[in-house]
Amino acid sequence: MTLFTGSGVAIVTPFNEDYSVNFEKLHALIDWQITEGTDAIIICGTTGEASTLNDEEHLACIRTAVEAANKRVPVIAGTGSNDTQHGIHLSKEAERLGADGLLQVTPYYNKTTQRGLIAHFGAIANSVNIPIMLYNVPSRTGMNIEPSTLKELSRFENIVALKEASGNIGHVINVVAELKGKLDLYSGNDDQILPLLSLGGKGVVSVVANMLPKETHDIVDHYLNCRLEESLQLQLSIHKIVTALFCETNPIPIKEAMNIMGMDVGPCRLPLYEMDPINKDLLKQAILDYGLEVKE
C-alpha cells in the first residue's frame, strides 16, 4: 500500500485578495506540479493552511485536487484533527471524494498520551479503507510519536507511512530500527531529504516543491537510481532557498516566494501575517541567487 515514491508537494492553498479560496488557481497549480514531475499532491496540510479552512472549504479543496490530478498522481488529503470525531468525519468525506490517502497529524494543543495516540489514530484508521500517512511534527503539536507507538500503529492494515518532521536524525534512526520496514518513511523537512532517503525513505513531503517541483523530484529520483552525487549536489543547491523558506513560520515565506515569482497565490490568512521586509529581501535574494526569475 505504498502511497508514492518521490516528491509529494505539500501544496499551498491560494487565496484571492478577499481571502476566499482561489479554486481556479489551485487547479492550475496542481496541473503544473504534475507536468513538472511531482509524484503526489498533499492537499490541506500545514502548508495548505488547513487550520483556517472551514469544513466546506476543506472538502472543496480536496475535491478540486482530486479533479485536477485526475488519477495522474495520488492525492493525499490532510484530515487530521485534535478532535477524533472531527478527524473521522473529514477522513470519511475525503475518501468519499476520491482521495487516494490521508495525512494524519498528531493531536495538537490538547495533546494526549502515547496510548491516546494509538486510540486516536486507530479510530480514524478503522473508519476508512484508504491508506494513512501519520505526521510527526512535535515543533507544532507539542508531542512526539515514540518508536514503540509507531510499531503498535503499524499493526493497523491501512496505516502504512510516516511523514517524519521532528528534525531529529537520532529519533529517526530509532524509528527505523524499531519498525524494520513496517511503515514507509518520508522526510517532512526539505533540508533532510537525503538523510532520510539514506535511512530507507521513500521520498519527501515537500514545501520547496511548490516553487521547485522538478528539482525536488530529481533529488529523490537520482538517489533511488544510484546517482548519489547528482542527488547530493541538488540537495546542496537548494539549501539557501530552503533556509530562507523557514526564516518565518511556514507557509508565510513559500507563499511570498511564489508571489515574488509571479505565481499569484495570494496572502496567508490571519493569524499568519505578511512577511517582515528584511526577511522578504533575504528570500528574494535567495531566489535571484538560484537563478529564478523575479516578477515582483
From 19, 25, 108, 135, active-site residue: 135
Beta bridge partners of 225: none
Contact between 127 and 92 under an 8 Å Cβ cutoff? The reply is: yes
From 163, 202, 255, 280, active-site residue: 163
Cell numbers placing 262: 509571479
Concerning whether 163 is annotated as a catalytic residue, the answer is: yes
DSSP string, 149-184: HHHHHTTSTTEEEEEE-S--HHHHHHHHHHHTTSSE
Closest CA to 51 of 283, 240, 272, 214: 272
DSSP code, position 269? P
Concerning whether 135 is annotated as a catalytic residue, the answer is: yes
Q: How far apart are CA 201 and CA 223, in angstroms?
A: 10
Cα dihedral: 254, 104, 32, 35 (round 10): 130
Reduce the DSSP state of residue 134 to 3 states and report it: strand
Q: How far apart are CA 156 and CA 132, in angstroms?
A: 10
Instruction: Kindly report the backbone phi and psi dihedral angles of residue 7, in degrees, each rounded to the nearest multiple of 5, phi listed first.
Output: -110, 120
Query: Omega of the bond prior to 271 within 30 degrees of 0, cis?
Result: yes
Q: Which residues are catalytic?
A: 135, 163
